Amino acid sequence: MLASPLAPVDVPTGPKDVPTVQVRSNTNTLPSSWWSSERLYELERRAIFSQSWLFVTHASRFEKEGTYSSFEIAGYPFFVIREKAAPGQELQKPVLRAFHNACRHRAYPVAKKKEGNVGMSGVLSCGYHGWCYDTRGALRKAPQFDNVPGFDKSANGLFPVHTHVTATGLVFVNFTASPEPPAFNEVFRGFEEEMKEFEFSDYEYRESYELHGDFNWKALMDGYQECYHCPTAHPGLSKAFAIPTYKVVPRSNYCRHFADQRPARVVPPPKRPGGERQRSGSITEWLGSFIFAEKVAEQEALEKAKNVAGEFDGLWVYAFPNSGINCYSPAWYTLRVVPVSATKTILEYDIYQKKGIDEQEMLEFIDFLKQVEQEDFDLCQATQRNLRAGVYTSGVLHPEKENGVIYYQDMVREKVLQHHEMEKAAGKEISPASSGPRDSAEDEVCKALESGRCGGSRDLEW
Ligand code: FES
Ligand SMILES: [Fe+2]
């Protein structure tokens, strides 16, 4: 699948014997047009986002039956809901389901809130004409439709979205309308096992925040998949971790990131009996003592940074195409990189804190996290402006320091080109998430009017 020559591999394989993938050693970035073309973005939606397993949330956020959370990824609004038992019945175990957030009547969103619970009624009621759906997606009530000839309630349930919940409670969805999505554990071989290194049950959801960027979703993934930029762009992170040891290890549709924590070697300076730092008479000694004091201050800062990140070595994972799961000891947090258009992206962060953690420690961790994320955000904003300017078209990637970028961009390239070939062969767009045919006579009119925007096969412009 990936072309040779292969890069020399000198990377940890992790404590478990999970597959490690080698990447090409000599490659350029994808062309800059892939960061701004709306048509290319639409193709990515069909080729990648509508048929990949996408990380969403953690099961611990659905403590009660009937609780739901709504999301939107790449223009697909959906919600995840914990099934509620019918009155007088009990469920053997918690069940999480997901549905497209579109009423089967006239497509109004059924779940209006970001988070909620169906309550005693056990149903979600559409705010347009009042159709009601239970937590299994079945249509329970369609006002005044009872006497409409041929109307079949059972054929008008919500469109289901495939879900997979890992043993550690990580919730993934897949929008493909096919009844058989790709097998999760074949896509992410070794992922479930590897995530068991972290004790997710010791943590509880704390808060979320978002950053709204004027850049393509890949701009953030590019930065996420390497730490080549860390010494220049993340001074705080560079104090907490030994950046030269930073490695990205491609697995099976995901990558594990590794770095050693910076050792904290705080050696107290010589002190005067009164407690003040000693200063000797000569200029050289005085200067030496001054530099020493600075070094101590720096080391104290390192110690602080180390404490912020915690004692745990870290379990940092990129899950193709658009997510990061980052586990430290004080907290773990997730990042959903949500494409909105070719040049708009929302970064959605969810933070889960260690149960019983000291509030001050947690606030320091969140400051640390937000500082690093803001630095990445600023890099993306400025880079995207140049990607659109039409001067820069492509650049060279470092075979080792940017192997994670090569790995994920290769996956994007392969999926996009493959899907494009399929569409060319079929003579029309192929939308795996679409629930019905899009080649009616009425669609043909739209196709003709918009030269492919409504189901046509106009060639892409790259
Ligand atoms: S759109 Fe939902 S009831 Fe009409
Ligand atoms: Fe970064």
Residue nearest to atom 4 of ligand 1 (CA): 129
- The CA–CA distances, whole Å, from 277 to 124, 266, 268, 296, 366 equal 68, 15, 10, 11, 34
Measured distance CA(394)–CA(23) in Å, rounded: 19
Atom of ligand 1 at shortest range from CA of 130: 3
Q: Which CATH number do you get for residue 88?
A: 2.102.10.10
Measured distance CA(293)–CA(216) in Å, rounded: 45
Q: What is the per-residue pLDDT for 298?
A: 55
Residues 318 and 261 in one domain: yes
Residues 6+ away with beta carbon under 8 Å from 355 = 202, 203, 204
Indicate whether 13 belongs to any domain: yes
Q: What is the per-residue pLDDT for 109?
A: 98
Residues 361 and 461 in one domain: no
The answer to whether 239 touches 303, Cβ cutoff 8 Å, is: no
- The CA–CA distances, whole Å, from 102 to 78, 98, 134, 239 equal 8, 12, 14, 47
Ligand nearest to the CA of 225: 2
DSSP tally for the chain: helices H, then strands E: 10, 19
Ligand nearest to the CA of 219: 2
Q: What is the per-residue pLDDT for 9?
A: 33
Q: Which CATH number do you get for residue 265?
A: 3.90.380.10
- The CA–CA distances, whole Å, from 294 to 172, 184, 233 equal 48, 52, 22
- Profile the chain (462 residues) by mean pLDDT over runs of 10 residues: 30 54 76 97 98 98 98 98 94 96 98 96 97 98 96 97 98 97 97 96 98 98 97 88 91 94 49 38 32 47 52 86 96 98 98 97 94 97 94 95 96 97 94 83 78 50 40
CA of 224 relative to ligand 2 center, distance in Å:
6
Please give the tally of structural domains in the chain. Answer: 3
Element at 367 (helix H, strand E) = helix 359-389
The answer to whether 246 touches 227, Cβ cutoff 8 Å, is: yes
Q: What is the per-residue pLDDT for 284?
A: 31
- The CA–CA distances, whole Å, from 93 to 18, 108, 124, 142, 211 equal 30, 31, 22, 30, 36
Atom of ligand 1 at shortest range from CA of 110: 2
Q: What is the per-residue pLDDT for 241?
A: 82
Residues 107 and 28 in one domain: no
* Residues listed for the chain: 462
Q: Which amino acid type is present at position 384?
A: Q
Q: Which of 101, 129, 151 to mutate to test the pocket of ligand 1 (most atoms within 8 A of CB)?
A: 129
Indicate whether 190 belongs to any domain: no
The answer to whether 257 touches 319, Cβ cutoff 8 Å, is: no
CA of 419 relative to ligand 2 center, distance in Å:
31
Residues 252 and 149 in one domain: no
Q: What is the per-residue pLDDT for 108?
A: 98
Measured distance CA(70)–CA(351) in Å, rounded: 17
Residues 228 and 377 in one domain: yes
Torsions phi, psi for 156 (to 5 deg): -125, 35
Residues 6+ away with beta carbon under 8 Å from 256 = 14, 18, 194, 248, 249, 315, 316, 317
Helices (H), 269-335: 283-309
Q: What is the per-residue pLDDT for 287?
A: 30
Residues 443 and 412 in one domain: no
Element at 56 (helix H, strand E) = strand 54-58
The answer to whether 64 touches 117, Cβ cutoff 8 Å, is: yes
Q: What is the per-residue pLDDT for 461?
A: 42
Residues 436 and 422 in one domain: no
Quick one: angle between helices 217-224 and 403-426, nearest 10? 150
CA angle in degrees (0–180, nearest 5) for 49-342-333: 60
Residues 275 and 421 in one domain: yes
Residues 409 and 438 in one domain: no
Question: Is the torsion defined by CA of 318, 319, 322, 326 positive or negative?
Answer: negative
With CA atoms as reference, report the closest residue to 55 among 167, 172, 164, 161.
172
CA of 129 relative to ligand 1 center, distance in Å:
5
Q: Which of 100, 104, 105, 144 to mutate to test the pocket of ligand 1 (most atoms within 8 A of CB)?
A: 105
Indicate whether 2 belongs to any domain: yes
Residue nearest to atom 1 of ligand 1 (CA): 106
CA of 335 relative to ligand 2 center, distance in Å:
13
Indicate whether 193 belongs to any domain: no
Q: What is the per-residue pLDDT for 448?
A: 75
Q: What is the per-residue pLDDT for 57?
A: 98
pLDDT in tens, 333-359: 999 999 999 999 999 999 999 999 999
Indicate whether 137 belongs to any domain: yes
With a 6 Å cutoff on the Cβ, whether 108 touches ligand 1 is yes
For residue 48, what is the DSSP state? I
Q: What is the per-residue pLDDT for 168?
A: 97
Measured distance CA(204)–CA(58) in Å, rounded: 10
With a 6 Å cutoff on the Cβ, whether 106 touches ligand 1 is yes
Residues 6+ away with beta carbon under 8 Å from 306 = 240, 261, 262, 264
Measured distance CA(459)–CA(87) in Å, rounded: 54
Residues 40 and 147 in one domain: no
Residues 205 and 148 in one domain: no
With a 6 Å cutoff on the Cβ, whether 126 touches ligand 1 is yes
Indicate whether 304 belongs to any domain: yes
Q: What is the per-residue pLDDT for 238?
A: 82
Q: Which of 100, 101, 103 to mutate to test the pocket of ligand 1 (most atoms within 8 A of CB)?
A: 103
Indicate whether 274 belongs to any domain: yes
CA of 151 relative to ligand 1 center, distance in Å:
15
Indicate whether 189 belongs to any domain: no
Q: Which amino acid type is present at position 452?
A: G
Q: Which amino acid type is present at position 1?
A: M
Give me the residue label for tokens 């096969």. Answer: 457
With a 6 Å cutoff on the Cβ, whether 133 touches ligand 1 is no
CA of 54 relative to ligand 2 center, distance in Å:
22
**Domain, as residue range, for 97:** 54-181
With a 6 Å cutoff on the Cβ, whether 103 touches ligand 1 is yes
Residues 364 and 221 in one domain: yes
Measured distance CA(219)–CA(216) in Å, rounded: 5
Kindly write down the DSSP assignment for every residue of 16-33, as one continuous string. Answer: TT------BSSEEPPPGG
Q: What is the per-residue pLDDT for 260?
A: 85
CA of 154 relative to ligand 1 center, distance in Å:
16
With a 6 Å cutoff on the Cβ, whether 128 touches ligand 1 is yes
CA of 305 relative to ligand 2 center, distance in Å:
16
